[in-house]
Amino acid sequence: MSAERTFIMIKPDGVQRGLVGQIVQRFEQRGYKLVSMKFTQPTKELLEEHYADLKQKGFFPSLIAYMLSGPVVPMVWEGKDVVKQGRQMLGQTNPLASLPGSIRGDFSIDIGRNICHGSDSVDSAQKEIALWFKETELTQWKSSTHEWVYE
């Protein structure tokens, strides 16, 4: 099954630090297919909905302030096992626990500045994609590399 989709978002610090290209490149070079991407300044309401499961956490207000501090790059990536593989490519929530070679392990230090988001399950990926993208914004195309990535 190569049609699994995940929601990956470059956070405001990733944008400010000029890491958009390098993060996109890692998913491209792995062989995953970009379905949608935008550069946008999200509302507080959207961010509170996105992080609704963390509402009771003490860091929730600072998390929302951080995510509101500048534009972000929400993306949908597609391919075999992309939810789990995307999480591995991001690394651990705490960058200090992230291995070198992962995005957080290579580019960040503090948990509150960990530069990217990735869905933690197929179910939450579907919810997050629906929250951030309209159905009409999700492209349908076949990558010309498909046969060279999948056997």
Please identify, using beta-carbon distances, which residue of 28 and 120 lies nearer to Mg ion.
120
CA angle 14, 127, 49 (to 5 degrees): 65
Per the annotation, the verdict on 117 as an active-site residue is yes
Residue from the set 20, 63, 64, 149 that interacts with ligand GDP by CB under 6 A: 63
| Active-site pick, 5, 33, 87, 117 | 117
Please identify, using beta-carbon distances, which residue of 111 and 149 lies nearer to ligand GDP.
111
Verify binding: residue 93, ligand GDP, rule CB under 6 A: yes
Residue 111 interacting partner from Mg ion, ligand GDP, none (CB closer than 5 to 8 Å by kind): ligand GDP
Q: Are 99 and 23 in contact (CB under 8 A)?
A: no
Verify binding: residue 49, ligand GDP, rule CB under 6 A: no
| DSSP helix/strand/coil, 150 | coil
Q: How many angstroms separate the CA atoms of 106 and 50, rounded?
A: 25
Q: Are 79 and 32 in contact (CB under 8 A)?
A: yes
Please identify, using beta-carbon distances, which residue of 2 and 60 lies nearer to Mg ion.
60
To the nearest 10°, report the CA torsion of 20, 98, 126, 136.
10
Catalytic residues: 117
Q: In the complex, which residues of this chain contact Mg ion (CB under 5 A)?
A: 120
